[in-house]
Amino acid sequence: MLLEPTLRRVGAVAIAALMLGTAPAALMAETPADTLVLAGAIDDIVSLDPHEAYEFSGLDVVNNTYDGLVEINPATLQTEPGLAESWSVAEDGLTYTFKMKAGVTFSSGNPVTAEAAAYSLQRAVKLNKTPAFILNQFGWTAETVDAMITGAGDTLTIKVDKPYAPTFLYNCLTAGVASIVDADVVKANEVVTDGVSDLGNEYLKTHSAGTGAFTLRSFKPNEGYVLEMRPGYWRGDAKMAKIFMTHVPEAATERLQLEKGDIDVARTLTPIDVAGMAGNADVAIQEDVGGQIYYLSFNQKNENYKNAKFLDAMRYAVDYQGMADTFMKGAAVVHQNFLPSGYLGALDDNPYSLDIEKAKALVAESGITDPTIKLSVRNAADRMDVAQSIQNTFGQAGIKVELSVGEGAEQLKEYRARQHDGTLQTWGPDYPDPNTNSSTFAENPDNSDAANNTGYLAWRNAYDPGEMTAESKAAVLEQDPAKRVEMYAALQKKFRETAPFIVMFQQARQTGVRANVKGFYTGGAVDSTAYWLVTK
């Protein structure tokens, strides 16, 4: 999940502020009664092929047009059977048997079979687009996947290369990349160029061929999409006949449309817009969390950041609650652990709070005199606010912070090359299993420069997490779900106490809906939006 749409939409905030307190519009427009009209920033969509889509807005479409073997219940955010009715795992933990649900059909009318399911997972691996790595983790490659995933009748057999925690597989199977596609339709739309088939990728970029509650009626990049309900959805027919999402990049515009009733749902409001609508009985604000984590990290090529006392000093020099209550209100909540709230095993306690005296004392104990940090920050308004607060409170604790402000991609380049000193960053999980963040934060198999392990955040900070690498790897193999939860809890605790990382916030989301809209679920930190339960 590469782009964080709301953070880029800070334009004209001052103007939105001017609009605070203006009376709701006198004249009311109406959206069609059978259609849910949404506005949001959807310019992140690259493709609507479920085995390629990897951006927030694209996955929202995929979640409503396709299903996987295992699904996430939009209301409870717990996993539940999807197109597979039941499953079991063999003693050795290497072979899974899924029994397919009977009577489910694709939008074409074709029945869902174990063959189609096997074809889908094989296709996702062979297509090898960005999200394919989620499936590659199980030892499935273009060469091996045909033998490892086979379907016959109503039984799908899945082999994995190591005895992983079963929850790891089930969680990964809820991801968009594990969606089941209509093999016949896809095969009929393959394009062969120079003897190489595109596996229907070009077709699926703008068409749907799934079992979802909706079909994709039209999609125009950076303009919008229309989904059409199809009768006979296995989870119950959608209540809305159509879903219409329009691309409205400007939050203040969205707010105006929502108050006028020209849209039913506004997805990228800023906290200022939300505050401005307080007291408007026609509009309700839904709050939940997203998966994004805000953190500070420090490059251990600088010896100061190996000093436990100094790291502790910094942990007590951040005004977590102060920021969350002021400029981050509605955009983030305090969260100090690397697993986002909502994830299996996530810790929700936040032991650190601003304590300048304690921080000062810890700096003194650390033996570091006149510490100075060069903190790299992206030139986005929300990042700058956080950085300035940190500069202020660190300064009070005797730690000088120099801000190095730059363009996002350039800062990322510096970070990946281990050339930063300290940096303010965000991280979004890749798939709904704790291993996604555990492996990136707490693992670093080789800390040498030559290893160039840019995928590991620990490596980027020249941080060797010691035993944690092995512990995180063990957690993904743990067969007992309860024990697995304990292992992640222990990892997060150890990490927040020792690593040169300070996790500060988890993203919060505020969605504006018309008062008559019910049953709109955004998917929280682990899933995408569900449209089929919406009524209005």
Q: For binding to other proteins (CB under 8 A), which residues are involved?
A: 2-3, 8, 11-12, 15, 19, 22-23, 25-27, 29, 31-32, 35, 37, 39, 43, 46, 130, 133, 218, 220-224, 226, 242, 244, 246-250, 252-253, 256-257, 259-260, 262-263, 407, 409-410, 412-413, 416, 427, 430, 452, 454-455
Q: Give one DSSP letter per residue of 131-145, joined into a string.
A: GGHHHHTTT--TTTH
Q: Give one DSSP letter per residue of 176-223, joined into a string.
A: GGG----HHHHHHT--EETTEE-TTHHHHTT---SSSSEEEEEEETTT
Question: What stretch of H or E contains 295?
Answer: strand 283-298
Question: What stretch of H or E contains 504?
Answer: strand 501-514
8 A C-beta contact, residue 169 and residue 478: no
Could you tell me the smallest distance in angstroms from the CB atom of residue 409 to other proteins? 4
Q: Which residue lies nearer to other proteins by CB, 159 or 247?
A: 247
Could you tell me the smallest distance in angstroms from the CB atom of residue 246 to other proteins? 6
Residue 187's alpha-carbon distances to 171, 190, 191, 202, 204, in angstroms, are 28, 5, 9, 12, 11
Paired with 72 in beta bridges are 79
Q: Which residue lies nearer to other proteins by CB, 366 or 411?
A: 411
Instruction: Give the closest residue to 459 by CA, choosing from 423, 397, 415, 424.
Output: 415
Q: Which residue lies nearer to other proteins by CB, 115 or 202?
A: 202
Q: Which residue lies nearer to other proteins by CB, 259 or 433?
A: 259
CB atoms within 10 A of CB 78: 10
Could you tell me the smallest distance in angstroms from the CB atom of residue 92 to other proteins? 31
Torsion angle in degrees (nearest 10) through CA of 130, 201, 175, 46: 60
Q: How many CA atoms lie within 13 A of 348 on its CB side?
A: 6
Paired with 298 in beta bridges are 422
Instruction: Give the closest residue to 189 by CA, choosing from 108, 128, 130, 105.
Output: 108
Residue written as tokens 């209509």?
Answer: 182
Q: Which residue lies nearer to other proteins by CB, 23 or 196?
A: 23
Q: Which residue lies nearer to other proteins by CB, 248 or 390?
A: 248
Could you tell me the smallest distance in angstroms from the CB atom of residue 417 to other proteins? 11
Could you tell me the smallest distance in angstroms from the CB atom of residue 270 to other proteins? 14
Q: Which residue lies nearer to other proteins by CB, 20 or 152?
A: 20
Structure tokens at 139: 């030892």
Could you tell me the smallest distance in angstroms from the CB atom of residue 135 to other proteins? 15
Could you tell me the smallest distance in angstroms from the CB atom of residue 410 to other proteins? 6
Could you tell me the smallest distance in angstroms from the CB atom of residue 31 to other proteins? 6
For the purposes of burial, counting CB atoms within 10 Å of the CB of 377, is it exposed (0-12), middle (13-18) or buried (19 or more)? buried
Q: Which residue lies nearer to other proteins by CB, 264 or 527?
A: 264
Paired with 71 in beta bridges are 80
Could you tell me the smallest distance in angstroms from the CB atom of residue 32 to other proteins? 5
Handedness of CA 53, 172, 92, 466 (dihedral sign): positive
Q: Which residue lies nearer to other proteins by CB, 250 or 365?
A: 250
Could you tell me the smallest distance in angstroms from the CB atom of residue 37 to other proteins? 4
Distance CA 89, CA 146 (A): 19
Could you tell me the smallest distance in angstroms from the CB atom of residue 192 to other proteins? 18
Distance CA 484, CA 488 (A): 6
Q: Which residue lies nearer to other proteins by CB, 201 or 522?
A: 201
Q: Which residue lies nearer to other proteins by CB, 79 or 257?
A: 257
